[in-house]
Structure 1
Amino acid sequence: MFKKDPVSGVAISLATALGDDPFYRSLVVDDEDDAGTRLAVLARYFEQSIREGRDIGQVRQADDDGCAVWITSRDTERVRAAREKKLAALGRLLGPVGFANYRSMTANMERQLPPLIAESAWYLSIMGVARARQGQGLGGRLLASTLAEADSHGVMCYLETFNPRSVPFYARLGFATAKEAVEPLTRAGYQVMVRAAR
């Protein structure tokens, strides 16, 4: 069963670094009064997302200090199967409200994607660095090889961020804001950022 799987150190680092993000906070509302349980559930969420990235994309990891999870596969059947597997796991992991929030938020955000994003685009699903390692260039190093590969294939990349402080970081890597939106469940603003192949 999913909950008995060991949780990697990097998943814990992601949960600690990204736990205040409105999207991720909304996944653990069922455990609102227990900080330890919230962290554990969120770490397991990230572990499942890393598994998804390994199935249908790429995962770049710096030991337990940071991780970038990309969805790069354009094999629709494989992507569908990986998404169903993740949904089944999240249905067991998240509480009923958190799981409903996940379904609602991802559907809302998908509807907000600008039409300029090509179907072949690579999606940066998760990017996080442990708090103690932030500001040391690790994030850029985690993204560099996949961005170089996207450039060599002539592929567009995109991401969504709720954190306005991350916008300049992504801009330095060639991403530009394509759309600003508000996620209706959380009422939090976020940006869709796009990077054309260089």
Structure 2
Amino acid sequence: MTRMSITNTPKTATIDDASLIGRTLARAFDDDPMMRWFFPDDATREAGLGRYFATIFTRQYVHHGVCEHTKAAAAFWVPPGAQDKAVPDAETIQELAEILGDRAPLFRQAAEAAAGHGPQEPHWYLAVVGADPAAQGQGHGAALLRSGLAKADAAGLPAYLESSKPSNLPFYEHFGFTVLGEVQLPGGGPTLWSMRREPRRPADA
């Protein structure tokens, strides 16, 4: 077994992984159009993103989602039945507002716009997936995506995600996602692509 295959094997994330996950996702999303819109200052973006991802992980997804990570990537999934619980509570919203500063109103508007286009059917929602660019091409993001999709397939349910990075769309399409539509985020924000994947039988995966 190669070292690469060991380090990109998904593991369940726990609260103790918050700092590592925050740092990993900060690097992964440094060039993401939506995150650059929320954190426009190059000098403070990495620190802000690290706090943002650590916060939503510790306050939301580790409690109500399925969170996995490798040595260089992390993913947060929300299964059906948990999606109402994964919505930020008042304390989380306040904490995120402090992290985002004057961009907090744009964040709220973007979240509302995206939620308005989400599917009504039961589904597995991929809230976040990202890999450290230093480990690009080593299969970390793909391993996490396969792991979550296997759970959706086992339940016979579709998967759904949004992406603001056009170059990521072919990656998701490779795993069976198709673009449902585009959402132009308010306030001059970037475009968000919503994507859906039909469940597959084991023989089709």
Shorter-chain TM-score above 0.5? yes
Query: Is 1:8–1:47's contact at 8 Å kept on the other side of the alignment?
Result: yes
- What secondary structure is seen at the aligned counterpart in 2 of 1:146? helix
CA 1:16–1:118 in 2, change beyond 3 Å: closer, same or farther?
A: same
CA distance in 2, matches of 1:179, 1:192: 6
**CA offset at residue 103 of structure 1?**
0.3
Query: Within 5 Å, which residues of 2 pair with 1:28-47?
Result: 28-29=39-40, 32=41, 35=43, 37-47=44-54
Query: Is 1:73–1:79's contact at 8 Å kept on the other side of the alignment?
Result: no
- TM-score normalised by the chain length of structure 1: 0.82
**CA offset at residue 9 of structure 1?**
2.6
Aligned position for 2:32: 21
1:69-113 per-residue CA deviation (whole Å, 9 max, x = no partner) reads 112251466335x54443132123221x22111101111122233
CA distance in 2, matches of 1:155, 1:84: 31
Aligned position for 1:104: 109
CA distance in 1, matches of 2:130, 2:152: 20
Q: Is 1:181–2:165 an aligned residue pair?
A: no
**CA offset at residue 159 of structure 1?**
0.6
What is the Cα-based RMSD across aligned positions, in Å?
A: 2.3
Query: Within 5 Å, which residues of 2 pair with 1:62-101?
Result: 62-63=70-71, 65-75=72-82, 78-80=85-87, 82-95=88-101, 97-101=102-106
- What secondary structure is seen at the aligned counterpart in 1 of 2:146? helix
Give the counterpart letter for 1:54 in structure 2. Answer: V
**CA offset at residue 181 of structure 1?**
2.5
Q: 2:62 aligns with which of 54, 59, 71?
A: 54
CA distance in 1, matches of 2:123, 2:86: 14
Unpaired runs of 5+ in structure 1? none
CA distance in 2, matches of 1:72, 1:175: 17
Give the counterpart letter for 2:95 in structure 1. Answer: A
Give the counterpart letter for 1:28 in structure 2. Answer: F
The structure whose residues are more often helix, as a share, is 1
Aligned position for 2:165: 163
Identity, % of aligned positions: 32
